[in-house]
Each structure stands twice: as C-alpha cells, then as structure tokens.
Structure 1
C-alpha cells in the first residue's frame, strides 16, 4: 500500500495465509450392473430409490443391481452413483427403439430412444401444428404406461425447433441437451409433417445378460466403459458390483480388477459371497479363490434374505453389498468414518433373515481369515458383526487389517490431496512450508478433537512435517515439496475381555 502525502491513519488488509481443508464425503457408493433403461457407461447420481426408478427403471428380476440399490437406501445410504452396463443383443446392435416422422420433402425425421432397451417401445412422437408462417416446428415426446398405453407418464415439449445446423434451436442439438427420452438419428431437409396421431416407437431390446467382458475386461479402461466408466466421476468411496444375473456372480478376474481400481481411486470394494457359499467351514479355504487380498476390499458373509416385491414379498436371497454400504453410510453420518461400521447399532434394515445363521464357533474361524460376518442376535436382530479388510487375516499382520483404519487413511489422503492443490507453482521455501503446516495441522487438529485419533494430546495423536529437514535442496531443484503426515488411528475394540473373580466377604 502506498503512503499518501497527507498525515493520517491508513488501513491495509493482509492475507492470513489460512486455507481451509474440507473433509471429503466418504459414503458415495458406486453400483455397476444391468438395468432396464438409463444412460449406458455414464455415471449418474441418484439420491433415493424413486429417482433410481425414474432414471433406470424399477426392480427387474433379471438385474440384481436394482435390489442392491433399494437396500442401500433402506439402510441409510444417501448418494449413489449408478453405472448401467449393456450387452447388445447382437454384435454391433444398438437395441434402440426408433420412430419415423414423415417430412414434406420425403426424407423423414428419424428419432431413436435415448438409451437401449424395451422401454423405448413406450415412447410416442407428436408434431402439433407449427407456428404460423414460420420455418420452425414443434415436437412433443411422450412415454406411456406399459400396461395402459393411453396413460402418459412423462411428456416433453420442444417449441420452435429448426433444421438449420448452428441455429440455437437446431432439433438435434436441443434434444441431445434437453431430452431424457429421445435423440435425433436423421434430420430431414424439410419441416416434419403434422401428425394426426402419436407415432409409436418400435424395436428396442434389453440385450443379453452382461458378463465380465462388459464389466471388467482390461480393454474397457481406455474407452471408459463398464467398471471404468467411473473415470467420468469425480469421487466415489464404496464400490458394489452385484451379480451379473441372479445366478452369475462376478468371478476372480472381476473382483481383482475392481480391487485394483479401488486402490487407484482411494475407494473400498465390498465383495459379496457366492451363492454356493452355504457351509461356513468351507469359506476360509475359498476366500483366495474369490478375490486376491487387498487393503481396499472387504468381504461380507453370508447373504441376506429379504422380501421380493416382484414375487408377492416372499423372502429371497440377495447379496449383502447394498445393505452393508447403507450401514456404512449411516455410521459415517452419525459417528464418523473412523467408527467401525459394525456392532449393535449396525442393524440391517429390511432383512428378516440371513441365509446362514452362524454360531460363535463358526464366527471364530471366519474372523481371523478377514471375513466380516453378518449375525443374528435376539434383541438387535440382523447386524454387521465384523470390520476387517481382506488384509485382515491374522497371519498377514497388515497395518490395514481394520476397515475403519483404512477408510480413515483414505479420507485423510483424499481430503489433503484436494485441499492442497493451491500449493502447486507456489515458491518452494519456508513461507510456503509454514502455510502448509498451518493448514494441514488445522485439519488434523479438527479430526483429533472429534475423536478420530488415539492419544490425549495432539502431539500423541498426529504430526505434520514440512520444512528443510524433509525438503532437501535436490528436491527443491526438481520442484518437489514433501509433506509428511502421521496419525495414530483409533482401532475398534474387537475383543472385549472382562475378568471376573469371586471373593469372600470379609476377606
């Protein structure tokens, strides 16, 4: 601030150097699987099951993903990221329902459903009378009920559309940007003719059951397809891959690919037990055939039994990933990511039974193998009763044995990664290092006050180092700034030992 020539008091505002690091969400759950409708290979956020039904169709007995999503929201989940995977009915088939709208010049306006599936057969196109003395036209798109074609459930109206490329109302661009129902497959040269009755869409197919080739094949990552469509998402924390069909579980290749991808994205994979796992004694030996052990994967056993609304609410067997993800989200909201998502509070809502009722002895053989058990107890009912990663086998002695410890580390990593972006291209010297220590230290202090770490003082709970001792001149010359953060996590009280002694009065 320049001092002027007259005497007086001058005020100058200085930068405090404080940049708040906000903790990221840790319960955004991604679901990858088959659905009746909706965008393919495009992550879509839904915040309740009603929104899922509108975007991807209701429950479908050929697609277990819908049930998993419903159980996620029933158990406390609040944000899901849906990736619809589609397997064409034939090579190079689009499986899109289409409609042909006649035009004055002979070349028709060809419309196609926005996504593949039989749902497109419920679409209708209407061209009402156009504006007087104008080259533009109006277009109404309808989706009718599958059981009552006279009932319109969704309607979209587009006014003053044109056939001129580059025009703000060019029909192809407007439908691509604003319509959830239809896309233009071929644009005519002349204005479409007014329709006397709605034009029905024909064709469309739900495709074949999906396989690992559409979900986790190595070549899919380059095209951001299947599981790797999540590259389009900014953040997800939990990953669920329900069975491809009611009788087809993801295999070792899919689980391993998903676990590796979760390590890249700082997320946790929830691994489901195969339907054939009904004998608890055989589970420990079968774990290695299901998934390669990873600090970013957690296995839950057994499957759950819940009411199936498509079968008169009779109980059916379902994978537990959706319900468990909901319990994790609920625990995060109430207690924090450092609290183990297990215990009497980790009840499974809408789950009256489990496929296997484990005894304490059976549980005692599964827990040391890193298998999280679902148990039934008299008062709380069905609960999650384990909080280990697949690295939680006793013989591995991994630092990431416990799920809350691993998730807390991922939470800190992701939050600091996003909260220190401002450091890039700043002068790499002591003023920068002191700002880093201040900002990161404030973030870690907030976690300490909320009970995320062990210790009674900050010095016992965590440390933040960024200075000359960790930033030698050779690193500075290469443009590297080193920040070392350490923390003492709170580990779950997995085994509570109570010693009882009988005494004689007066002794």
Structure 2
C-alpha cells in the first residue's frame, strides 16, 4: 500500500519485485508402464524408493518385468519414479468378504468389503469387528490387516446409518488404502463381531470360581477362571472380568508354533465380553464348552477371529492395446497425461513380444505421447536379438519409429535374480534410467549418459559381448551399445537417438542434445505462464528477455552450452521484430530462443608424431 505521509520525516515502503524466476524442471523422473502384482489399475503412482514400490505394488514377481526394472532403477541411482499398473482388460478381480448381522433377526448380509485393487494379494486381507465404542449399542469398530504384507488399519465408531458422521462406506472409502466398503440393503443391523461374544452380565457378577473348558480350533484346554488363593480379590465389574479371563487364556499352553492362546484378547463392551483368538486363521474360533460356560453366558455367539477376503485374481499380462490404452479413459500409457513431471519412459515388457509389429505399434503410440509431453523414451532391444547379425537384420522393422524422442539400447543385462539367486537376462531400460538419473545429478542433463562414468551397478555381464568392430557396425545405425571393459565392467557406450543414424544426418542425433532441448522447453513453458493475459507491450517483452536470459545464463555457467561468452552460447529475442502489430491484435507474443548445446565427443582421435632429436644451445 502507498505510504500515507502525515508528518515530516523518512518513510519506508516495500515494493514487490518485478523479477520472475524461471526454475529448472526435473530431468530424470522415470515412468514405468506394465504389469505388477498389485496396485491401482491405470493410475500413475509416484514412488521414491523400492520400499514404496513393495508397499504399493507388491514388490518383485517373476511375472512382472516392470518390478525388476524399478528395482534396477533405484539400484543404479534413480530417485523418483512413476508407476502405472496395467492388466489385460476384464481379467483382474477384487477379493471380497460379506459380513452378516444377527441382531434381532435371522442372519442377513449387511456389509461387503472389497479389496481396493484387483489381485490375489487381496485374498491375504483379514478384517475383524468389535463393539468396544462409546456407543456399543449402535456403532462398531473395524480392523483391517494384511496377513502377508503386515499393513494394518483401524476405523472406530462406525455406523450403518447414512446420515451419521461416521458412516462406514464414507469413512472406509476415504481412509483405507486396503479396502472399500459397500452397505447392503437398507443399512439395518451391524456386522456381527469377531470371535465369541457373551450374553449380557447382570449388575452383580455370578460365581466365578468355576472350571472352564475352552477350544481354539482343535486344541482344547481346561482352567479355573477364578482362584481366590492365587488371583486375589474377585472381579467386581465386567472390565475386571475381561482382564482376568484374558490373563487366564494367555497362560494356557499353545499348539506348537501357534499363538492362538498366547495372543488371545478379551474386550468388555457394555455388559458383554468379546473373546478373540490371537490368530489370523479363520478356523481358530473360540468355544467355551460345558455347563459352567453356559451358566456364565459364554456361549452366546461364536464367529471366527477374523473374516478373510477371498476371490482375488491377478489380471493377465497386458497386451499391446492395454499398454497403449485409451486417451478418453486415461488408461495405459495415456494415464501419464495426468502427470506433470515425467522425463523418461520405460516399457520393459515390450522386448518380450513375439511379434515385432506389436512392439513397433506400441512404440509408435509411446513416441507420439513423448513428443506431446516432452518425454524421452528408452527402448529395449528385442529379446530375439541374440547377436550382432540378428540385431542388424531386425533393425529394419524400426524404420517407421525412428524418432528423436527415443533411443534404442542393445544388448540385455545379465544379473542375479533376487528371487531365485540365479543368473538371468533383463532388459536394460530400468538400470539405464537409473544411470541417466545419476548422470543428471552429478553432471547435468547435457552430459551424455554414456562412457566410463555410466557404469551399471549389480550387472554381472551382458547377453552379447561386443567388440570394437561390432560396435562400429551398430553405432552408425543409431543403436546404442552396452559394453564391458576390463576393470570398469559393464557400462553404456552409446548416446544416439533412434534418429541418430549417420544416413539421416539429423540435428537431433545425440541423446544429451535432445534431452537438453526438452529440459529448456519444459522449463520455459512453465516459467512463462505468468505472461498470459499481461499487456502485450515493450515492458512485457523486456521482462521476458530478462527472465529467459537469466535462466539460460545459469545453464551456460554450469556448462550446458558451448562458447566462451553468453553471446556465443544463447540468445533471446522478443521485441517489435518478433511480435508485429498484427500479432498484438491477435493477442500473440513471439519469443525466439536460440541455444548452442554441447555435443558429446563420440570419437577421440589422438595423433602421435615422432620427433627427431634436436641439439640444445
């Protein structure tokens, strides 16, 4: 606000800066699209470690090339990935369980819990129900846990009433990463609690000095509920009775390797008890038998300790159409349209396609997306390329997809499979994306992700060992070779795009030149959004030149451009020559940016000359 002067003196007014900084965008966020064990279908999920992948997508599985590619990505220096799970249409099924209610009427289904995502993993989910709430007569608690993965969720004070603030379908749907809830019928009746639930106790507890017989599964044990000589003062409330009974049950000997008794839980709600075995086996029901148990009311309702979900099915591996997906439905590759920061794309499943035509079809769709979204595609050589001759013979099939937004790498990697401990081959795109991310972090996007610094971690060997002569046959054709050198080991030894064949003579011949241009384009695209709807005049043009030049000068000082001075490295032109009066009438401002990228030293020639001895004076 302008300073209001009221008396003679010095006034201070802070003015907002007119400088708008253009920030450099990310360069190595890699998207992986394909089959995984679990995870949301056709939804991009950002992860920052392989532990995240294990938690969200189920970890490694021999059926998923994507799982190994992500593992290799993080193992070679990758930091951020985006994973899109894809399955064959209509093949995956969610596991589910339907809970019944016997409150005041015969048993009827009232609530169905579905696994949040399709797959066999959902059959490992277990749920339990109890009434230990502030309002035990109308609300309930729901516990969900993954018997295989260990994840646990607890939802308290749930209601079957749609008008209640803790309506089960709303609370579980919004808060659970494991299940979603579907209320059946009119919402009358709560799900029956897990385990054994007693009848209501009267205000005065009955005689507790009785012998009880309890069975959990096939194991039967006898014990004295209350012994005045050992247990001290007798329980006076239902809560104290619950503590006593839980202590007695946990002291009973278990079957070998089991914790049914040792982990037993007894909970008091209202005037009733709930007894649950400490087991995730639905067969381990708790049953109190005999007249004494019947007199205490411990045989009222008997349910399993947990209710298991079942029926989950993994989807079949996706085909070419599933990978390509639908732009309207945002499925497959098209799901990446909802993600802003994706710089690299890996499709490790493509190389195993029996038909090269299918592979080329998917690559064509992937490159179209990459051109639109400024992404660079890493292409794995087909698994059928088992020699230099087969690679040269099969390269003709890729003529239709020779674009500058992609690079092809040959051969595959030989690594130890973490699941079996055996040596097997893997497509290189996952490990390669990690090498690129590491190179970008250490040197910059303008440094070719190749050379002695581009070593692979964890790679034992390559499926095809290339010589210098064989490398010389493939490199000029636009194929980036992976080589093994003594002492250094396996590494990347090529940095050409698919358009980098010598015969094409493309200005986008090299991977770092293309990726640097994409980086500059995306940074300027985001950094100049503020220009829209600003007055189209000389003041605006000057501000654009200032902001853009400051950004490019930063890259120049980091070594991204060639030249000794900024004038030799880049230029920015935005004035009346680029934006005419006609452009102004149409609401257009034209900015012309030129850069001189550094190109990799692909061939190093050292000339040696023998010099004759000379006399010194």
Q: Normalized against structure 1, the TM-score is what?
A: 0.94
Is 124-133 or 257-266 further displaced after alignment?
A: 124-133
Contact 2:92/2:119, CA 8 A, preserved across alignment: no
* Deviations, residues 294-339 of structure 1 (Å, cap 9, x unaligned): 110000000111001222x111011000010000000000000000
Contact 1:454/1:460, CA 8 A, preserved across alignment: yes
Contact 1:210/1:244, CA 8 A, preserved across alignment: no
Counterparts of 1:284 and 1:480 in 2: how far apart (Å)? Answer: 48
1:192 equivalent in structure 2: 191
1:159 equivalent in structure 2: 156
1:298 equivalent in structure 2: 407
Contact 1:237/1:268, CA 8 A, preserved across alignment: yes
1:232 is aligned to 2:338? yes
2:72 equivalent in structure 1: 71
Structure 1 residues without counterparts, runs of 5 or longer: 146-151
Structure 1 segment 215-364 matched on structure 2, within 5 A: 215-217=323-325, 220-243=326-349, 251-290=359-398, 292-311=401-420, 313-364=421-472
1:112 equivalent in structure 2: 114
Counterparts of 1:118 and 1:127 in 2: how far apart (Å)? Answer: 23
Give 1:502 deviation, angstroms: 1.3
1:180 equivalent in structure 2: 177
1:388 equivalent in structure 2: 496
2:541 equivalent in structure 1: 433
Is 12-21 or 461-470 further displaced after alignment?
A: 12-21
* Alignment equivalent of 1:481, drawn from 579, 584, 589: 589
Contact 1:38/1:55, CA 8 A, preserved across alignment: yes
1:59 equivalent in structure 2: 60
Counterparts of 1:482 and 1:355 in 2: how far apart (Å)? Answer: 51
Counterparts of 2:68 and 2:352 in 1: how far apart (Å)? Answer: 11
Contact 2:112/2:181, CA 8 A, preserved across alignment: yes
Are the structure 2 counterparts of residues 244 and 137 from structure 1 closer, same or farther at C-alpha, using a change threshold of 3 Å?
farther
Contact 2:512/2:599, CA 8 A, preserved across alignment: yes
* Alignment equivalent of 1:97, drawn from 95, 98, 103: 95
Are the structure 2 counterparts of residues 165 and 384 from structure 1 closer, same or farther at C-alpha, using a change threshold of 3 Å?
same
Counterparts of 1:320 and 1:500 in 2: how far apart (Å)? Answer: 38
Is 101-110 or 251-260 further displaced after alignment?
A: 101-110
Contact 2:351/2:381, CA 8 A, preserved across alignment: no
1:6 equivalent in structure 2: 7
* Deviations, residues 241-268 of structure 1 (Å, cap 9, x unaligned): 1116966586110011111111111010
Counterparts of 2:34 and 2:599 in 1: how far apart (Å)? Answer: 34
Contact 1:62/1:246, CA 8 A, preserved across alignment: no
* Deviations, residues 391-434 of structure 1 (Å, cap 9, x unaligned): 10011111111000000000001111111111111111011111
* Deviations, residues 3-41 of structure 1 (Å, cap 9, x unaligned): 535322233333331111110111000000101111111
Counterparts of 1:319 and 1:110 in 2: how far apart (Å)? Answer: 42
Counterparts of 1:189 and 1:428 in 2: how far apart (Å)? Answer: 65
Give 1:271 deviation, angstroms: 0.4
Counterparts of 2:609 and 2:182 in 1: how far apart (Å)? Answer: 81
Counterparts of 2:541 and 2:125 in 1: how far apart (Å)? Answer: 60
1:458 is aligned to 2:458? no
Give 1:342 deviation, angstroms: 0.4
| Secondary structure in 2 matching 1:127 | strand
1:137 is aligned to 2:136? no
Counterparts of 1:94 and 1:164 in 2: how far apart (Å)? Answer: 32
Counterparts of 1:134 and 1:422 in 2: how far apart (Å)? Answer: 58
Is 160-169 or 94-103 further displaced after alignment?
A: 160-169
Q: How many residues are matched?
A: 495
Give 1:162 deviation, angstroms: 2.2
Give 1:166 deviation, angstroms: 5.7
1:42 equivalent in structure 2: 43
Counterparts of 2:425 and 2:136 in 1: how far apart (Å)? Answer: 63
Counterparts of 1:284 and 1:10 in 2: how far apart (Å)? Answer: 77
| Secondary structure in 1 matching 2:155 | strand
Contact 1:74/1:349, CA 8 A, preserved across alignment: yes
* Deviations, residues 68-121 of structure 1 (Å, cap 9, x unaligned): 111111110011100000225xxx465110101113473420011010111111
The structure with the largest alpha-carbon Rg is 2
Counterparts of 1:454 and 1:496 in 2: how far apart (Å)? Answer: 18
2:475 equivalent in structure 1: 367
Contact 2:115/2:179, CA 8 A, preserved across alignment: yes
Give 1:178 deviation, angstroms: 1.6
Counterparts of 2:331 and 2:527 in 1: how far apart (Å)? Answer: 29
2:31 equivalent in structure 1: 30
* Deviations, residues 108-152 of structure 1 (Å, cap 9, x unaligned): 20011010111111011101124235532210001103xxxxxx7
Counterparts of 1:125 and 1:133 in 2: how far apart (Å)? Answer: 19
Counterparts of 1:185 and 1:244 in 2: how far apart (Å)? Answer: 38
Contact 2:93/2:315, CA 8 A, preserved across alignment: yes
Counterparts of 1:123 and 1:246 in 2: how far apart (Å)? Answer: 33
Counterparts of 1:324 and 1:287 in 2: how far apart (Å)? Answer: 20
